[in-house]
Amino acid sequence: MSDVVLQATGITRSFVDADTHVNVLRGVDLELRRGECVALVGASGSGKSTLLHILGGLDQPSSGTVLAAGKSWVQMSEAERSGHRNRQLGFVYQFHHLLAEFTALENVAMPLFVRRVPMAEAQARAAAVLGAVGLAHRVGHSPGELSGGERQRVAVARALVTQPACVLADEPTGNLDRENARAVFALLRQLAREQGTSFLIATHDMELAAQTDRIVRMNAGLVSAG
């Protein structure tokens, strides 16, 4: 089995804004290997979020192909994309997007409920992942009862509960103070090493990016290494 979990080839993405044709991505090639933790850095507007959406099958490229766990997004129906995304990918964003009316355990178990995993099994798996991110003592708390750093850890656990090949993280520490940002980033690195999950992390924070296995820079819709 190939150790490439995500592969983008020749990705372009264009929009029409009023009468202006905007080229956001201009031929991006990128590979992410199993267990690799990669930082995606670049100024605001450089195309990082657009690229993550396309890599995750949430948006379609104007041209080019993306293989996620060996399968092309463009060759799937919307239902197939949704199922493949649920099985193979996890997502973490700057804002945690937890459901306020549910506990940490229920929030983490949600992707398994979508997959129709039996409730007892889903809750057991969610509890195990919450333990892995250091929140075994907070499983019954709602998001409003958690600190900012704890809420983001719950979001990380939710992304990991389906045992995805890859997690796409868009500024996952951007809403945290320095101490919590470092703790969450260290957690992502640890999980990549221990579980073999790959992480592609879009970030403005060069101090944190320097701790990853590799840095990919975006500038004007193109990527370069280092």
Q: What is the pLDDT of residues 142-201, one digit of tens each?
A: 999 998 888 988 988 898 888 888 999 988 877 778 887 888 788 778 877 887 889 999
Q: Is residue 26 part of a domain?
A: no
Q: Which domain holds residue 125?
A: 35-60+75-217+220-224
User: Has residue 24 been placed in a domain?
Assistant: no
Q: What is the distance between the alpha carbons of residues 62 and 195, in angstroms, rounded to a whole number?
A: 34
CA 107, 111, 116: angle at the middle one, nearest 5? 120
Residue 157 belongs to a domain: yes
* 216, β-bridge pairs: 40, 225
| pLDDT value of position 19 | 74
Q: Going by C-beta distance under 8 Å and a sequence separation of 6 or more, which residues neighbour residue 63?
A: 10, 11, 12
pLDDT at 1 over 70: no
Cα gap 48→217, rounded to integer Å: 9
**Residues 88, 191, 41, CA angle at the centre, nearest 5°?**
80
**Nearest CA among 54, 39, 55 for reference residue 5:** 55
Report field, pTM of the whole predicted structure over 0.85: yes
Asked, for residue 22, whether it belongs to a domain, the answer is no
Residue 14 lies in a domain: no
Instruction: Write down the pLDDT at residue 226.
Output: 57
Averaged pLDDT, 50-68: 90
Q: Specify if 167 maps to a domain.
A: yes
Q: The domain that contains 171 carries what CATH number?
A: 3.40.50.300
181 within domain boundaries? yes
Domain count, the chain: 1
